[in-house]
Structure formats: structure tokens, C-alpha cells
Structure 1
Amino acid sequence: MVAWTTRSFALSCYFADPRALTRFYQELTGMQLGYDSDEFVALTDGSGCDLGFQQVDRYRAPRRPGQDVPQQLHLDLRVEELDAAEKLALELGAVRPDHQRGGDRWRVLLDPAGHTFCLVVG
């Protein structure tokens, strides 16, 4: 049997400079810059699982809740205080879509490039 661990996740972005989306997630999560180039930037928190951002030509943001352009990735970010985390994310440029099903357990948001992510309690 082969043992697998997740090394990283990479988000595609339309920004000419992937650092713009990196800054959003860096401020939201507190992760530190791990790698930086013109086409790819990565954040790390020392856990061994990094979060990367890559420049992609002709990027199309996912459309929620429909599937005209389906989501390419969905991140769940664990938070201690849901309302405070949502407020911070919105201040940093996230958008809260009308379609919400999590109640007090999670909130669905869209990052500045249109990727779906959830803030999850606990």
C-alpha cells in the first residue's frame, strides 16, 4: 500500500499577477509566503500542505449555484468564530452568495476570483 499525503492545492486565477489572490488568502488565513514568481505564488503554514495560486490564460470564474461554469475547487477553512471570520472575509473582498444552506455551521463565500470556499466552525 502506498501512503499519500496532500502536498498542496493550487487555485487558478485570472489576475495578471497571482499575488492579488494570494494576498486575499494570506490576510484571511494568516499563512506565510512560501514561494513567489510571476506565474505562481504559494502560501504555507508549516503543516506540509501549501496553498498555491497560478496565473491562467482565459480563466473563467465558476458560476453559482448553476453549473454553466462549474467550480474547479472548493476549500473549507476551519474557523473558531463564524461571524467574525465571515466579516473579515467580506472586508477583504469575498462575496456572500444568496444561496446558503449551512445555518450556524458554515458559510459559503466566493473569493475575489470567484472560487467557492466555506468557513466551517470547529
Structure 2
Amino acid sequence: MAPQMKLSAITLDCPDPSALAAFYQRATGLPLHPDSDADFAALTREDGLSLGFQRVDGHRAPTWPTQIVPQQLHLCFRVEEELDDAEARLLELGAGRPDGQPREERWRVLTDPAGHPFCIIGNSR
């Protein structure tokens, strides 16, 4: 049987959708969807997959690596540049670097400005 569903979007809760969309737009180069507003913003790839950001009042950032506030979602991005260079670029854009980096020779765990953990993975892996 052929698949009946195709992933069309991944959406993150956050306190400021416009700010988080701007961070990921600078990090990925994806264009901002023209219908984005203060309550919901999205970046959309050419194949239609969107990365969305929705306003949630009282949003609590995940506390990775502890599970006091669980991460609930974890994004991974393959990077073309060296991991050290990609990490430095993302930190300059506003990412955070939590303590406790597992296997940092292979990938790095960072947090976006709203506190969501995400990984960058070297292209050679």
C-alpha cells in the first residue's frame, strides 16, 4: 500500500514567532512564508515542507539535557561547513550551547532563541 500521508509541516511553540522565524531564516536561508504574522510564522522549502512557529502564551523553554521541561521535539540539520564553523555562526545568530555535549566530534546540540534543542551534524557523517 502506498503511503497515505506526506509530511507538510513541523511547528514549534514559542513566545515570539516572528523572532524565532527570523533566527531560523538566517540559519537556513529558507524564505519566510508571505502569510506569516505575529501569531504564526513559517519558512517553506521549495518542496512545500514548512517549519512553523506558533505563539503560545506562557511558553516554557525545554531544559535539555534535564527533563524538568521535556524537549518534546528535536530537530537535526546537516551542515555543509565544518562543525566548529557552523556552531560559531549559529551562536552569533543567537543560538545557545547547553552543557553536556554527547559525541561533539560527530554533532553539536544547540538551542534556538526560544530554548528548543536542535542538532547540527557534519556533512561527512
The whole-number CA distance in structure 1 between the counterparts of 2:59 and 2:104 is: 31
| Bigger strand share | 1
Residue 27 (structure 1) aligns with: 26
* Pairwise CA distance, 1:121: 1.3
RMSD of Structure 2 on Structure 1 (CA): 1.2
Q: Which moved more, 1:89-98 or 1:1-10?
A: 1-10
Query: Which structure 2 segments of 5+ residues have no match?
Result: none
The number of aligned residues is 120
Say yes or no: does 1:112 pair with 2:113: yes
Instruction: Give the secondary-structure state (helix, strand or coil) at the position aligned to 1:117.
Output: strand
- The corresponding residue for 1:72 is 72
CA distance in 1, matches of 2:114, 2:25: 15
Per the TM alignment, residue 75 of structure 1 is displaced from its structure 2 partner at its CA by 0.4
Q: Distance in 1 between matches of 2:76 and 2:19?
A: 20
In 1, distance between residues paired with 2:45 and 2:86? 18
* Structure 2 partner of 1:47: 47
Which AA in structure 2 matches 1:39? Answer: D
Tell me how far apart the structure 2 counterparts of residues 103 and 67 of structure 1 sit (CA, whole Å).
20
Instruction: Give the match's secondary structure for 1:11.
Output: strand
Q: Give unmatched runs, 5+ long, in structure 1.
A: none
The alignment partner of 1:6 has SS state of coil
Output one character per residue of 1:66-117: Cα deviation in whole Å (capped at 9) or x when no partner.
Answer: 1111002110011012122111110011111111012321100011100000
